[in-house]
Amino acid sequence: MLMQPGIRTLPGLLAALRKARTRSAYERVLRSAEVPAEELAGQATWNNRHYTRNCLLRTADMELMLICFEPGQGTSIHDYGAEEGWVRPIRGELAEERYRLDEDGMLVCTEERRLTVDDVSHLAKGASLHRFTNPLPMRSMSLNIYARPLRSWNVYDSRSGNGRLRPVPPVSKR
Ligand SMILES: [Fe+2]
């Protein structure tokens, strides 16, 4: 599949993702799209108590979410089990922490980095333990693709390392 230069609108992005047939094609579309944050402002919701998940597209094979973080908001430490994901900030920044479980079942942070606008982080099958936090005093938004759509994920207690299968947080209503 060719690169997708010039995708600047939400309908264009959704059409390209509907046409994409493979996970590598989803990733290429997400990396190469040039959709400005303002184009997605109408899809965003904001909540003072927690970040929001806004579904832009869901098929049998994948979903595209717009994730909206107020300053300081972040996710739990979680992973996607046998599913995978890609995360691209489109406004602001995200602090990404990656983890693994050591031989005693305790969480070990293996990497910390800042994702800035247009970086893409890949959360691979079976190796996706992570947390995202908005570190800036301004709102941030990211486009996230999950393949397949997530119904549940494993949420980990940061002190004990115990993981529990939990339903994913509900999508927000506009
Ligand atoms: Fe995540």
Is pLDDT at 6 greater than 90 in this prediction?
Answer: no
Question: Which alpha helices (DSSP H) does 37-142 contain, by range?
Answer: 37-40
CB 126 within 8 A of CB 85: no
Mean pLDDT of the chain: 94
Q: What pTM value is reported for the model?
A: 0.94
Better pLDDT: 3 or 120: 120
CA distance 165 to 33: 33
Distance 130 CA to ligand 1 centre (A): 7
Average pLDDT of span 36-40: 96
Distance 93 CA to ligand 1 centre (A): 15
pLDDT at 1: 44
Q: Which residues lie across from 78 on neighbouring strands?
A: 130, 155
CATH code at 40-167: 2.60.120.10
For 78-105, write each residue's pLDDT tens digit.
999 999 999 999 999 999 999 999 999 9
